[in-house]
Amino acid sequence: MIYLDNSATTQPFPEVLESFYKGSTDFFANPSSIHQLGSRSEKLLSEARKQAARYLNVNETEVVFTSGGTEGNNLAIKGAAFMHQTRGKHIITSQVEHPSVLEACRSLETLGYEVSYVKVNEEGRVNLEDIKEEIREDTILVSLMSVNNELGTIQPIEEVANLLSSYPKILFHVDHVQGLGKVPIDIGNRGIDLCTLSGHKIHGLKGTGALIAKQHVSLFPLFHGGGQEKAQRSGTENLPGTTAFVKALRLIEELHSKEAEQLQSLHDQLYSSLQQIEKVKLNSPINGAPHIVNFSVPGYKPEVIIHSLGEREIYISTKSACSSKQPEVSSVLQACHLDRERTTSALRVSLSYLTTREEITRFIAAFHEVLEELEETMGRSL
């Protein structure tokens, strides 16, 4: 089996599963309970928060554990919008954000907010001047992803943070779900106010993650109840999931420090191999994230290619998992002004630190076979 759909989700590390099991058995008590078992759980939760803060270079009071990327993005965007609506109701984002950002923004539009969706270039990158032009007196939030989930395009996060430093009333939210452990950003940077992270993209577990909310940021909570997570995310804490998430954070940081060059080398091997196939049109920029390569095969249905590769136990995807059941056109590629043939025939291969050179070689060989088989079938059907 060759798994190349790591941007959709990653295989959990064994150490992560061990951490979850230990948290579920030895620390099953509710951290809010006042008896001794509850206190043990609360102490473990506190230690997990300290460790997460250390790995992410933030203060422990700034870590809000969540159920993952969608919740983090919704809490950041709606929480900021509701809390600061007396200051203004204008938000800036881009046309190529994850659905959890775009749909959160569209839901706010139904409540009277205005959203500017900044255009991107052919590589899916925003222009700093375009963001600057959209800033108004009533702008309260700018939300951008660090790495595009379909293309792997790296956005100019540091430059935007520097720009917004001249606008202290505008919060800057970064959706760092795809970049975490692959394309590091300095979350401790004063220019980043909110940052979304997800566990299952870094070999953690689904249903885990965190929103980093800097100390000066106030959010209107989406959940009300027992006041957990500084009242920003009420609900009994998922202690086993949280400890598993923090374990994954530590392991992915270690892998990045040791294996970043190897991952980039695999990316370059894949990119170069695809570049040599006449039928393939590469959509990802060559200088994008090291784990995502998006390409189109005009004239071929991506679902058919994925099915044929799946029969060989090789797994890739069409676009993002959260958009894969939507209409056939990739809205991200459409926003990049690519023609319909490319927007309807896109495929995404996404790597991890567990991917090997042999797997890339076998994928390319199988991909050649599939294209030849489909070409023969299409020829017979004419």
Token reading at 71: 């919740």
186-196 core/surface letters (b: 16 or more CB in 10 A; e: else): ebebebbbbbb
- Which one, of 43, 39, 48, 46, lies nearest residue 20 by Cα? 48
- Catalytic residue list contains 105: no
Q: What is the largest CA-CA distance in the chain?
A: 75
- The gap from C-alpha 154 to its chain's centroid, in whole angstroms, comes to 12
3-class DSSP state for residue 25? helix
User: Strands 314-315 and 139-145: what pairing?
Assistant: unpaired
**Cβ atoms 351, 183 nearer than 8 A:** no
- State which amino acid sits at residue 274: L
> In the chain, which ranges are continuous DSSP H helix?
14-25, 36-56, 69-83, 99-109, 128-134, 157-164, 239-275, 302-311, 331-335, 340-343, 357-381
Q: Which of 105, 195, 322, 336 is catalytic?
A: 322
Instruction: Report, as residue numbers or ranges, the catalytic residues.
Output: 322
